[in-house]
């Protein structure tokens, strides 16, 4: 197994601003959030929100003296050194004067060992290193248009405001749609500062799934001992070589199923440190439509009839069904609509007064796309024959005419023959 310091050094080279992935480093407006215990030793905790400013740089150099905005306290202005350049991504640095801005929240962080089976081997030693005696922050950011989500753990010498990123976890698949049955890749990348003493003691990766309050472990991997947790969801895996060589902790689902739709959390552990990013997967499959009865029976003017449109095999469950009618004049008009849920649903329509007939169409509007199914309505006494039908009728008439002539000729010939025999 490769030494973890070497792994993260390789990751650093790959991560630093390649092409258009990164731009000039931003000054991020952020909310500083912390809880304060109520007075008198009570259990109630009040959450305080303060505006803060993060000056991002990739190379450590002394902070320049800058005037803090009037609405931000000077104690909440920080200098963040990010050697990987993750925080310099263009989605975190909107154009000057832009109304839309990245989302950012920063919290005090307390380093502590993990009790999870796949992460506890990272802190076998009972003593905490002196390195932990510092100011630690956890920062969560989301870039513009959902391009990027980042979670970082930063460290600053006590009572200073110059932080350095020690661990960062990122995803570029904040929101993903996948067709039913297709493979899915949920992106998650990790980077650890090779100069930190915590980066040489291994790492662990955990993937969890959540949906409407229910959750489950998808996969967990102890990178220090190269072992997977006993519980692993079928069809889920990691690129283990890419994880060790490039910090690629992405989850691979071989075959997307309806039950896979939900939130996924990628959590990365270093000794005493943890960071995570969340992403959403939505499995989408458009409906299959069928109309009953098909073909429609012949109708007479003024007759009522019922047509059923059935949609099946679709995900997610939200679906809108409607009817359209296209007359012989080529004009279309709506006949009604309704919203249905379920993997197999029918929508009935009973209609009268559809004139000379035409085409009845069931229209399904779904996240996976719009689908249509049509049948032809023929009204007795009003249906105009097509060219093909006209030619066929002419052909039938000619055949009947020929058959009549043949029978007539046969009868005439037989009669003449009998008269000649009698004369004889």
pLDDT at position 43: 58
* CA atoms in the 13 A half-sphere facing the CB of 2: 18
CB contact set of 156 (below 8 Å; sequence gap of 6+): 78, 134, 135, 136, 137, 162, 163, 164
DSSP conformation class of 178: E
pLDDT at position 298: 81
Give the SS3 label for residue 95: coil
Tell me the CA end-to-end span of the chain in Å, nearest whole number. Answer: 120
pLDDT at position 409: 65
Distance CA 52, CA 70 (A): 11
- pLDDT tens digits for range 188-200: 999 999 999 998 8
Query: How many other C-beta atoms can be found within 10 angstroms of the C-beta atom of residue 9?
Result: 14
Quote the strand ranges of 128-174, DSSP E. 135-142, 149-156, 162-171
Distance CA 279, CA 302 (A): 56
pLDDT at position 201: 84
Spans of the chain below 70 pLDDT? 1-23, 37-45, 62-67, 125-127, 338-356, 381-424
pTM of the model: 0.75
Question: What stretches of 233-383 show up as alpha helix (H) in DSSP?
Answer: 240-246
DSSP conformation class of 423: H
pLDDT at position 110: 95
Distance CA 22, CA 27 (A): 14
pLDDT at position 5: 33
pLDDT at position 354: 57
């Amino acid at each position: 197994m490769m030494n973890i310091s070497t792994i993260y050094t390789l990751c650093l080279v790959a991560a630093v601003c390649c092409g258009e992935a990164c731009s000039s480093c931003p000054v991020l407006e952020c909310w500083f959030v912390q809880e304060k215990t109520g007075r008198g030793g009570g259990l109630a905790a009040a959450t305080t929100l303060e505006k803060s400013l993060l000056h991002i740089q990739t190379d450590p150099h002394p902070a320049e003296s800058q005037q803090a905005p009037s609405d931000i306290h000077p104690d909440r202005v920080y200098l963040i050194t990010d050697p990987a350049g993750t925080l310099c991504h263009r989605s975190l640095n909107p154009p000057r004067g832009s109304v839309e801005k990245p989302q950012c929240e920063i919290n005090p962080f307390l380093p502590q060992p993990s009790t999870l089976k796949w992460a506890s081997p990272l802190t076998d030693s009972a003593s905490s290193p002196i390195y932990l005696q510092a100011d630690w922050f956890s920062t969560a950011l989301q870039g513009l248009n959902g391009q990027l989500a980042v979670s970082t753990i930063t460290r600053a010498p006590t009572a200073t405001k110059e932080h350095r990123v020690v661990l960062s976890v990122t995803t570029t698949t904040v929101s993903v749609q996948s067709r039913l049955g297709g493979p899915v890749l949920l992106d998650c990348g990790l980077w650890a500062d090779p100069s930190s003493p915590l980066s040489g003691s291994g790492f662990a990766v955990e993937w969890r799934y959540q949906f409407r309050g229910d959750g489950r472990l998808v996969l967990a991997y102890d990178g220090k001992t190269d072992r997977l947790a006993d519980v692993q969801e079928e069809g889920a895996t990691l690129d283990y070589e890419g994880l060790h060589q490039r910090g690629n902790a992405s989850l691979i689902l071989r075959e997307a199923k309806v039950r896979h739709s939900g939130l996924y959390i990628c959590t990365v552990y270093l000794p005493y440190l943890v960071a995570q990013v969340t992403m959403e997967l939505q499995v989408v499959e458009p409906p299959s439509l069928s109309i009953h009865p098909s073909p429609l029976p012949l109708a007479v003017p003024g007759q009522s009839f019922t047509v059923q449109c059935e949609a099946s095999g679709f995900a997610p469950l939200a679906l809108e069904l409607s009817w359209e009618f296209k007359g012989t004049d080529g004009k279309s008009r709506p006949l009604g609509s309704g919203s249905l849920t379920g993997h197999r649903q029918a929508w009935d329509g009973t209609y009268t007064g559809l004139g000379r007939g035409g085409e009845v169409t069931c229209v399904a509007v779904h996240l996976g796309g719009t689908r249509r199914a049509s049948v032809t309505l023929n009204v007795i006494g009003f249906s105009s024959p097509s060219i093909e039908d006209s030619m066929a009728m002419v052909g039938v008439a000619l055949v009947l005419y020929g058959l009549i002539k043949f029978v007539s000729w046969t009868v005439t010939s037989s009669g003449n023959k009998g008269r000649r025999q009698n004369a004889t």
